[in-house]
Amino acid sequence: MNDATASPPGPRRPGDFALTALGLGAAALSPADASPHTFPDGGGWRTEIPSVESPEALSVVLKESAELDVPVHRISQGSGIWMLTDAEITEMVAGCEERGIELCLFTGPRGTWDTGASTRTDSGGAGLRARGHDALAGCVEDAVRATELGVKCLLIADEGVLWTLHRMRSEGLLPAATTLKVSALIGAVNPAAVQVQERLGADSVNVPSDLTLAHFTEIRRASRVPLDLYVEAPDDLGGYVRMYEAAELIRRGAPLYLKFGLSRSPGIYPYGRHLRDLALATARERVRRGRLVLDLLARHGAGGGMSPPGSRLPGELHRFPTSPEPSGTVRNH
């Protein structure tokens, strides 16, 4: 290979060596765009396999990730805690703990399954948010039940539920080490919104997959809360496939969870055994998509900087006070 086509040292951009040789090279990356933040373990990124809806699907993910050598930091479920039996939750907790993986289960009732009509209008109404006191209570019940069974991460699609569970955590009504993850379905799309969700108790915020690279830089100037991003988004979240941007997304968005979703696949929420074959097949393919992203990062010299296996805590974050305090006082936890 001659000097004109030799790859530069360190991380490179896709196709850059050839395009530069042809006079089509991209402008140099600005160091000012890079995130100054990391996870507390020093890593810039972690991995997540979403939509793992049952113990059987979890077994498929664990087997496939071992065979394809895909490190997994977090496994999440989308149908809801109320769709799982105690025995199923206990089995999933044990399976994840054995591999040092954080298990994240979705809390309770949501607006799209409620009797209200507004979510079925063109405007979408209030979306997945918990409608009324009873839905809020259902989410709280789910949170208490799951944590009593050993679940350490709760997935949330409502700001009121987020604030309530954070207050419960602060008051000892939930284990102090419980982490709260905000769903992409109410994803924040500007720096102020991410900042507010962090202060309401979020330990990671799933941002929509259509945010631009510049949006990630803007968010990182306002908040260091870990972000979750579908590198490949399900169709109901846009179906975007951003594998070739993975390295730059990490550079700008760290600390970042790379989520391996699956486009061109039917939805499986709320999951039941009637969807078993689809759930198992898509769980297996999500892990394979993860392998593709990891291979791409390695090929571009950007495979380093991942958090060590078993890492789960977000580090120090800024919170609103959970009890009355003098005006202007802000506590950090």
Q: Give the per-residue pLDDT at 119.
A: 62
Q: pLDDT per residue over 288-297, tens digit each? A: 999 999 999 9
Under the banding of pLDDT at 50, 70 and 90, the label for residue 3 is very low
Is residue 21 within 8 A of residue 15, CB to CB? The reply is no
Q: Is the pLDDT of residue 126 over 90?
A: no
Q: At 29, is the pLDDT very low, low, confident or very high (cuts 50, 70, 90)?
A: confident
Above 50 in pLDDT, residue 324?
A: yes
Residue 117 has pLDDT above 80, yes or no: no
Q: What is the pLDDT of residues 174-228, one digit of tens each?
A: 999 999 999 988 889 999 999 999 999 999 999 999 999 999 999 999 999 999 9
Per mean pLDDT, which range of 26-35, 58-67, 159-168 is the poorest?
26-35
Topology adopted by domain 32-299:
TIM Barrel (3.20.20)
Contact 199, 310 (CB under 8 A): no
Q: Is the pLDDT of residue 1 over 50?
A: no
Task: Identify which has the larger pLDDT, 288 or 124.
Answer: 288
- Whole-number pLDDT of residue 163: 97
Contact, 97 vs 320, CB < 8 A? no
Distance, CA of 61 to CA of 15 (rounded, Å):
32
Question: What per-residue confidence (pLDDT) applies to 332?
Answer: 52
Retrieve residue 302's tokens. 């950007």
Give the distance from CA 69 to its chain's centroid: 20
Give the Cα separation of 268 and 285 in Å (integer).
14
Banded model confidence at residue 16, pLDDT cuts 50, 70, 90: confident
Closest CA relative to residue 149, chosen from 178, 183, 169? 178
* Paired tokens of 317: 């974050």
Q: Check residue 7 and give its pLDDT.
A: 36
Q: Is the pLDDT of residue 165 over 70?
A: yes
Q: What is the pLDDT of residue 10?
A: 53
Stronger pLDDT, 112 or 54, i.e. the higher one: 54
* pLDDT tens-digit map of 52-100: 999 999 999 999 999 999 999 999 999 999 999 999 999 999 999 999 9
DSSP 318: B
Cα separation, 309 vs 46, whole angstroms: 9
pLDDT at 139 (0 to 100)? 94
pTM: 0.89
What residue spans define the domains of the chain?
32-299
